[in-house]
Structure 1
């Protein structure tokens, strides 16, 4: 720490540290992260000596290394502590670091989107979220930003267009759009932290996350609707090995799993295993509906033909095929 730093600056740093500490402490409790002691912060000291402020600054750097990106994401999307002020302080804390790691970039990327989500006008359509508007909302943390974006970031808009065209999560995952987005952010290196780049990536990540959740809820609702329809057709079990469940999975259990997913996926934004299971389960249910429909139409068609010939039909109702999905 520079010993010539004015007292007003030190006082400002200490206020920020005290405002961040409750959030860090709550996050550590939730994920059982053992924090090193920081006595002046714990005691709520009003005006600590310079050395204590330097120790506190190092304390936050050490703790940041222990907190994983997914933990920060899950915590901030479920805690009542995620106020606009708290998000702004967290962002400023990470942005003011002298050196940024890949984890810092991922945290800043999430925090920018979360801050934008909290501060933006509700009910916005995708077309309303242009760079000028994003820059305006993020101005309290990034300052005034000239909007023209470097040509190298044009791929972000292309990826958003491709994601918008996806019909379900399976198509989104198969296209590897999420992975391409992560690679794009990593490819720019430290240039990510240039304000205009952060505005562009915040817009990209917000739109991509919005598309992601839209498809996720669409798939969940499609599965639940499909399960109800299958039950009405007399189906009680499905072969869900493709989705990493059993060969005879009860529909009642699948419904309970989908309801629990609605809660779990609220704070999730990735192409991890549970979400791939969701996408595969949608495929399983759609295939079962298709087979069930064909099986129920076949006897009706043959019965109609028998009636034309003046013969009584003795064809029994066909059982629904619930064998392995071959697709």
Structure 2
């Protein structure tokens, strides 16, 4: 897996010193959950165990401070603890991408510089949000972030949260110019994803990585030509996604389909939370953390407020799904 600097993000020094080569980011890159203590501080020992859980399963990289990491809920000091902990514990074994998600360009640049200083191999940013932004403003934002840091920049297409769909032609243009190293596509737009992959191929944008965030259609996405997957459920069953990736890469599509369908059944844990007392995000992130707690990976399943933790019955729902998937 190689998150290679491209275009103006690649200096001679950075490419010469990079252990990741020049091929582009590939494989399974889980968005790492952020374990918290009962006092809502970052639980560093649990985070280190989670990193070991993921690396031991054969993942190809780690993405910290993404949506599954609860980045939108974490104070800046928590973010820095996560970055420092993971980069130090990984110690160069796989690339680490740092989410630098925030509302405006200046804030994102500040986060990006901190992530680069912490030793992240790349940074990931959405479009600006809260205020409405024009497509040209989004492009300016991405260019300015890329200009501000010495590491590769990946765009994060997340319209459900950002309320802006990244324009495919813009992504192809920024790929061809070397401004962006890749994109994480969490749009859920399979037609748009395939159109983007075709346009990138036509533009011969070598080294630009397209990573799907749609963890339930990974086999389909790899068949279309994506380079990697960023699965939230990969925190719980990283070995399953590693197997799925290997099947896809080897063209074993029947085996890939079977593994994908097993993971789809396991994904039902995100429905643990009662919609009468919590939102979809609380249910999904709470289920991931509850599963990690039941598996003995993290000490506490709490999510950051105002999210609501799972109760005993909901925890039992998660336990039953883990057992059915062969994880307990």
Which has more helix, going by share of residues? Answer: 1
Q: TM-score by structure 2 length?
A: 0.28
Q: TM-score by structure 1 length?
A: 0.28
Larger Rg computed on CA atoms: 1
Q: With a CA cutoff of 8 Å and minimum separation of 6, indicate the structure with the bigger relative contact order.
A: 2
